[in-house]
């Protein structure tokens, strides 16, 4: 069962093409790495799926529909930049999420905060960059969504927290949901991925399973990436 | 026990090898119930689908069997385990001989050296005790 599919998905910003004729199908129950160098179109893809951008051409379908109000209830999106108000306390943001999303699980969020020693009474502005990232990821993963879109979720956190976050993604694994993780820190997340999608300069370069790549190239995905995108 | 995943080979194959080794070396004993796929995946830090694939392969190898409702168990057939042990030993020795060949060591040289090293270990034991 497909959760996300695209047909000739294209996005241009003025004269610049960010994504060109992308055709992919993402089944439920998979964890997918969206990989590519800086400026390859990863964030554009995620934003199209999140319904924040509209395709210039082609289409993107999520759970049978074009991104909109209905799909937003099924898609949990972690943006690259924070959109939460700095002056808010974590507990207030949790109340916010509970209001906004029917599928938000408060107990899950509170447990994760506890595991990572984050005080719900703290205000975001008093937190380090890494801690803020953790809070956002906790919020996003505490929804019972069908599609999780994580744009660079592990960029700013320390290795121990990274392990916890990856574990959280594995624990959260559900057969009817898919997780798309965009990142360039491939080596760190490779073990938890089913499939990868390589994009470069807006074009689909490769889409394959991690073990297929390892089998065919005798290399990790990280190793192959370094070879393909050698500067 | 820790899991080790190298970077250059399929992950599921490495999981198969490590679980096989645990069965052969008695970390998992015959008839033991395995944890759920999800728990094992978390423990190894890998994707649940990959762990599932590894366990399916172990089932095919008859080292593990599934019972429809109660989960997966280590085989109770000691012959299968013994066979796996032998296969693994043959593989390891093959790899060892290959390396020795690269070092230019002949059969007699290897055997002599092995005996010498073994005696050395015995002497060490003697001194310690």
Domain extents for chain B? Answer: 11-76, 79-128
CA-nearest residue to A179 within chain B is: B47
* A49 pLDDT more than 90: yes
> Can you tell me the distance from the alpha carbon of B112 to that of A203, in angstroms, rounded to the nearest whole number?
61
> Strand B64-67 relative to strand B71-74: parallel, antiparallel, unpaired?
antiparallel
Which residue segments constitute the domains of chain A, with CATH numbers given? 2-228 (3.40.50.300)
Question: What's the pLDDT band for B78 if we cut at 50, 70, 90?
Answer: very high
- Residue A181: its H or E element: strand A178-183
Cβ-Cβ contacts under 8 Å for A85 (sequence gap 6 or more): A124
Amino acid A203: pLDDT: 94
What average pLDDT does the segment A42-70 reach?
94
* A227 pLDDT more than 90: no
Tell me the pLDDT of chain A averaged across its residues: 92
CA-nearest residue to B38 within chain A is: A171
> Can you tell me the distance from the alpha carbon of A74 to that of A30, in angstroms, rounded to the nearest whole number?
16
Q: Is B91 exposed, middle or buried (0-12, 13-18, 19+ CB in 10 A)?
A: exposed
Question: What's the pLDDT band for A10 if we cut at 50, 70, 90?
Answer: very high
What residue has token string 């990436």?
A225
CA-nearest residue to B11 within chain A is: A211
Tokens of A25: 């199908």
The answer to whether the complex's ipTM is over 0.85 is: no
Selecting from B8, B45, B53 the residue whose C-beta is nearest the C-beta of A191 gives B45
Q: What is the SS3 assignment for A176?
A: coil
Phi, psi of A196 (to 5 degrees): -130, 150
Selecting from A187, A192, A215 the residue whose C-beta is nearest the C-beta of B10 gives A215
Amino acid A28: pLDDT: 95
B positions 10-29 inside 8 Å of A (CB): 10-13
In sequence order, the β-bridge partners of residue A13 are A16
Report the top-level CATH class of B11-76.
mainly alpha
Question: How close, in Å, is residue A167 to chain B by CA atoms?
Answer: 6
Cβ-Cβ contacts under 8 Å for A210 (sequence gap 6 or more): A33, A190, A193, A194, A195, A196, A221, B11, B50
Amino acid B124: pLDDT: 67
Question: What's the pLDDT band for A168 if we cut at 50, 70, 90?
Answer: confident
What is the four-CA torsion angle of A14, A18, A24, A27, rounded to 10 degrees? -110
B48 touches chain A (CB under 8 A): yes
Selecting from B7, B12, B49 the residue whose C-beta is nearest the C-beta of A220 gives B7
């Amino acid at each position: 069962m497909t959760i996300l599919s695209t047909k000739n998905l294209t996005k241009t910003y003025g004269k610049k093409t960010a994504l060109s004729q992308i055709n992919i199908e993402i089944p439920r129950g998979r964890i997918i790495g969206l990989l590519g160098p800086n400026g390859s179109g990863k964030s554009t893809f995620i934003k199209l799926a999140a319904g924040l951008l509209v395709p210039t051409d082609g289409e993107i379908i999520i759970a049978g529909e074009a991104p909109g109000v209905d799909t937003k209830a099924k898609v949990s999106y972690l943006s690259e930049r924070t959109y939460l108000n700095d002056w808010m306390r974590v507990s207030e943001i949790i109340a916010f999420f509970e209001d906004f999303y029917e599928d938000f699980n408060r107990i899950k969020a509170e447990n994760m905060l506890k595991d990572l020693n984050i005080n719900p009474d703290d205000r975001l502005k008093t937190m380090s960059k890494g801690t803020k990232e953790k809070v956002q990821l906790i919020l996003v993963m505490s929804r019972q969504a069908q599609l999780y879109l994580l744009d660079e979720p592990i960029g700013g956190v320390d290795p121990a927290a990274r392990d916890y976050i990856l574990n959280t993604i594995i624990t959260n694994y559900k057969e009817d949901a898919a997780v798309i993780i965009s990142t360039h820190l491939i080596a760190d997340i490779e073990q938890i991925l089913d499939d990868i999608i390589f994009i470069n300069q807006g074009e689909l370069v490769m889409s394959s399973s991690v073990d297929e790549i390892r089998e065919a190239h005798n290399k990790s995905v990280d190793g192959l990436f370094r070879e393909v995108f050698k500067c | 026990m820790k899991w080790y995943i190298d970077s250059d080979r399929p992950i599921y194959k490495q999981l198969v090898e490590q679980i096989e080794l645990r069965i052969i070396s008695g970390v998992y004993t015959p008839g033991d119930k395995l944890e759920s796929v999800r728990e094992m995946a978390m423990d190894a830090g890998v994707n649940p689908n990959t762990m599932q694939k590894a366990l399916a392969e172990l089932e095919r190898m008859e080292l593990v069997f599934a019972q429809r409702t109660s989960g997966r168990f280590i085989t109770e057939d000691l012959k299968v385990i013994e066979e796996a042990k032998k296969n693994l030993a043959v593989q390891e020795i093959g790899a060892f001989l290959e390396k020795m060949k690269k070092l230019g060591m002949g059969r007699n040289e290897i055997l002599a050296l092995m005996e010498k090293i073994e005696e050395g270990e015995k002497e060490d034991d003697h001194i310690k005790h």
